[in-house]
């Protein structure tokens, strides 16, 4: 992978474990979804929660007014400080977070919050009135029973929207997320989940407009459905997060191949247990996370699949167990490990189950671009 | 819990989610194990990996020369920078980490590394010779087949020890860890695991001494076994990590009660789904970790058990599902949630499955001492 001698020196100079990003794969993944969604006539509003690095923002967004999604106020503050100002905070709003929301809006950010209850609508109206600032809000729609939100045909939809529309806050539209799509493993069910997500959002928007409540934003999205929409008429924007890095869960779902995965954890073999058939490595759950997202998929990848340092997949090897700073690699499918091929001191790359979770364990990402021979360190925005 | 008005203001001023430490519980837990181990005539060498905060060090250690264990060079560097200099790095050593080990030793730290292969012994001898610095090493003993290490009766034990003893490095002793003890759920099996750990270490030390190789350190430990040793004759030190915070896994193992748990994640209720019986909270796996350590225990606690903000256990409630920044609380055991008792905006405290993993998701800890009415922020040392 790293033919360039300068890059190789950078790579070898890093202590393991560390998170390596293959920049060309990342850019390809980002372009692929942007072209797809824009080709269907909607905006792409990438979810910043996977990467949370300001250095990634210029690749996620064409310009500073491009729409972006965040999962924490901390991300919004970081983005706004760099002039990225079109932000949806896609976690249900609570009272204690409103002062920081207000602060960002007063500094010029176009920040929109999310809610799904009359209590939150009253709260937002009161706070907006008290501070003479009409805070924009979307109502979360539940399209498949996986998280928050209200059903598109629930009478509360109109009640909450009316409260906001006639109150001091600003009602802006609806947002839904196809949580069910992460449990789809074939094209037919993915397309069904994608259509269902579109239909739920359009249904909600239609009901609002019939009640003469404007619905400027109709926002949908998840990485699995985003790669499977056929028609986005009436949808204003699509959100997706993990599509830049991709991971083994997304491979299992079928929206990428193992070779598309742009993020891996580089580890060193620190022990052999030939009797048990174990390679012991210096990457445990601190480097990988405890996420076992492939456990309920047709192909369980343990705590990750392996490549050698050239990116060649090591067939039939898996990280099968992790402690805090140790991992155990075993052969699966009746294969066995050739210990001579992987001596103590060897470096291996672990492809993650869930890139959002694995990235969250790292303060920084080591970004290698093998086309332009550049090496960068991207700093992750941490906390809430 | 927080009767003091200044502390209450500190608490209420924090945005959720955050990690709260009950300092008095922490100090009680730390004292309990120290008295137990010192009462049995051994040293306690706390494992820094759980807390990784320099502010915690004075409570973990009686003085700057007290022994401590680390799982990363980064922890050792931080501790040494504050003058804590008696450190065991308890993860198998690899070549790329040796320059940082050397650097610490040259600055005066008494840093000891761990290994379990002739390859590593040759490496350490060569590096020690090249740098004219005898690096101290322990050999990892496998007492129950759970991780690295070699069996106490393996011929390689003497081979590796001889290599180090006669080489440029410095052989210092043996170290074992009773990984199996985390799967014990009754007093009898815990005591058996504890005795087995002691026996394996003593057996290894005895073989070495019979071969006229001095064995200065005989190190054992895990939180479950540490609370169950009956006799430590011949053992020089005991290691344990999670015993300060404790957690639901340790409650399941039976070495603490729920009320001893000193670390919890404070979260806000951001939604009600009465139809499904869900409270939606602003703590997901980013705040809790994805660790499901109680899944294989007799009592599965989901992603955590709940107390109200006064520390009262909310019977039959569990965090049953998590997304990145959302959690779902449900009633279990055929109970149901009284939504009026827990309105949107309420704060709840989540006791973690695995405190090491939950703490690792936080950049800082919010430490409340309700006896002395103090509030402190402890910064976690991050990375490797």
Integer Cα distance of B35 and B116 in angstroms: 32
Contact B360 A362 (CB under 8 A): no
A208: its two tokens: 């609002």
> What 3-state DSSP class applies to B95?
helix
A330, β-bridge pairs: A318
Q: Which residue of A has its CA nearest to B97?
A: A15
A305: its two tokens: 């699949």
The pLDDT value given to residue A378: 98
The pLDDT value given to residue A3: 78
Domains and CATH numbers, chain A: 5-19+262-379 (2.40.37.20), 40-244 (3.20.20.10)
* CB < 8 Å to A179, chain B: 323
Instruction: Considering only the beta carbons, identify the residue of A94, A123, A285 that sits closest to B282.
Output: A94
Distance set, CA B138 to CA A304, B195, B248 (Å) = 30, 21, 32
Taking 70 as the threshold, does the pLDDT of residue A23 lie above it? Answer: yes
Taking 70 as the threshold, does the pLDDT of residue A299 lie above it? Answer: yes
Q: What is the largest CA-CA distance in chain B?
A: 72
**Contact B327/B272 with Cβ under 8 angstroms?**
no
* CB < 8 Å to B100, chain A: 15
Contact B282 A91 (CB under 8 A): yes
**Contact B61/B85 with Cβ under 8 angstroms?**
no
Contact B93 A280 (CB under 8 A): no
Instruction: Considering only the beta carbons, identify the residue of B148, B282, B286 that sits closest to A326.
Output: B148
Q: What is the rounded average pLDDT of the residues A280-299? A: 96
Integer Cα distance of B140 and B161 in angstroms: 11
Contact A117 B272 (CB under 8 A): yes
The pLDDT value given to residue A4: 83
Q: What is the rounded average pLDDT of the residues A166-190? A: 95
Taking 90 as the threshold, does the pLDDT of residue A2 lie above it? Answer: no
Q: What SS3 string covers chain A?
A: CCCCHHHHHHHHCCCCCEEEEEHHHHHHHHHHHHHHHHHCCCEEEEECCCCCEHHHHHHHCCCCCCCEEECCHHHHHHHHHCCCCEEEEEEECCHHHHHHHHHHHHCCCEEEEEECCHHHHHHHHHHHHHHCCCCEEEEEECCCCCCCCECCCCHHHHHHHHHHHHCCCEEEEEEECCHHHHHCCCHHHHHHHHHHHHHHHHHHHHHHHHCCCCCCEEEECCHHHHCCCCCCCCCCEEEECCCCCCCHHHHHHCCCCHHHCCEEEEEEEEEEECCCCEEEECCCHHHHCCCCCCCCCCCCCCCCEEEECCCCEEEEEEEEEECCCCEEEEECCCCCCCHHHCCCCCEEEEECCCHHHHHHCCCEEEEEECCCCEEEEEEECCCC
The pLDDT value given to residue B339: 96
Q: What is the rounded average pLDDT of the residues A142-157? A: 92
Q: What is the rounded average pLDDT of the residues A255-268? A: 98
Instruction: Considering only the beta carbons, identify the residue of B18, B91, B269 that sits closest to A282.
Output: B91
* CB < 8 Å to A329, chain B: none
> Low-confidence residues of chain B, pLDDT below 70?
1
Integer Cα distance of B89 and A280 in angstroms: 16
The pLDDT value given to residue A1: 65
pLDDT band at A97 (very low <50, low <70, confident <90, very high): very high
Question: How close is the nearest chain A Cα to the Cα of B231, in Å?
Answer: 28
The pLDDT value given to residue B1: 65
The pLDDT value given to residue A147: 78
The residue among B121, B277, B282 with the most chain A CBs within 10 A of its CB, best to mutate, is: B282
* CB < 8 Å to B117, chain A: 271-272, 344
The pLDDT value given to residue B347: 97
Contact B270 A95 (CB under 8 A): no
Backbone dihedral angles phi then psi of residue B147, each to the nearest 5 degrees: -155, -130
**Contact A145/A177 with Cβ under 8 angstroms?**
no
Mean pLDDT of chain A: 96
Contact A363 B357 (CB under 8 A): no
The pLDDT value given to residue A146: 81
The residue among B18, B118, B148 with the most chain A CBs within 10 A of its CB, best to mutate, is: B148
Q: How many CB pairs under 8 A join A and B?
A: 143
Instruction: Considering only the beta carbons, identify the residue of A15, A96, A363 that sits closest to B15.
Output: A96
Contact B147 A328 (CB under 8 A): yes
ipTM confidence: 0.95
Percent of chain A at pLDDT > 90 equals 97
Integer Cα distance of B352 and B250 in angstroms: 10
Taking 90 as the threshold, does the pLDDT of residue A170 lie above it? Answer: yes
Contact B280 A92 (CB under 8 A): yes
């Amino acid at each position: 992978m790293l033919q360039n001698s300068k890059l190789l020196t950078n790579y070898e100079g890093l202590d393991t474990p560390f998170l390596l990003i293959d920049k060309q794969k990342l850019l390809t993944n980002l372009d692929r979804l942007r072209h797809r969604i824009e080709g269907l006539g909607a905006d792409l509003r990438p979810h910043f929660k996977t990467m949370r690095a300001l250095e990634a923002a210029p690749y996620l967004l064409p310009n500073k007014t491009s729409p972006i999604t965040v999962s924490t106020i901390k991300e919004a503050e970081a983005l706004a400080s760099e002039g990225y100002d079109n932000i949806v905070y896609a976690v249900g709003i609570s009272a204690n977070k409103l002062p920081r929301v207000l602060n960002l809006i007063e500094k010029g950010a176009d920040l929109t919050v999310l809610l799904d209850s009359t209590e939150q609508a009253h709260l937002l109206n009161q706070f907006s009135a008290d501070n003479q600032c009409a805070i924009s809000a979307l109502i979360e729609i539940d399209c498949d029973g996986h998280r928050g939100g209200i059903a598109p045909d629930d009478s509360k939809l109109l009640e909450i929207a009316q409260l906001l529309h006639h109150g001091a806050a600003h009602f802006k539209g609806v947002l839904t997320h196809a949580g069910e799509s992460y449990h789809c493993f074939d094209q037919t069910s993915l397309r069904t989940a994608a259509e269902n997500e579109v239909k739920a959002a359009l249904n909600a928007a239609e009901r609002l407009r019939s009640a003469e409540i404007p619905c400027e934003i109709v926002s949908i999205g998840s990485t699995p459905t985003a790669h499977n929409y056929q028609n986005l008429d009436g949808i204003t924007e699509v959100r997706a997060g993990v599509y830049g890095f991709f991971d083994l869960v997304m491979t299992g779902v079928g929206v990428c191949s193992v070779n598309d995965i742009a993020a891996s954890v580089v580890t060193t073999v620190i022990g052999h247990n030939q009797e048990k058939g174990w390679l012991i490595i210096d990457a445990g759950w601190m480097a990988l996370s405890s996420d076992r997202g492939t456990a309920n998929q047709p192909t369980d990848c343990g705590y990750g699949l392996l490549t050698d340092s050239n990116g060649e997949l090591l067939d039939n090897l898996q990280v099968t167990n992790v402690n805090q700073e140790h991992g155990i690699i075993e052969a699966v499918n009746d294969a066995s490990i050739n210990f001579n091929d992987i001596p103590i001191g060897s470096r291996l790359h672990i492809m993650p189950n869930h890139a959002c979770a694995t990235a969250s364990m790292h303060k920084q990402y080591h970004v290698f671009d093998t086309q332009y021979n550049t090496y960068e360190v991207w700093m992750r925005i941490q906390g809430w």
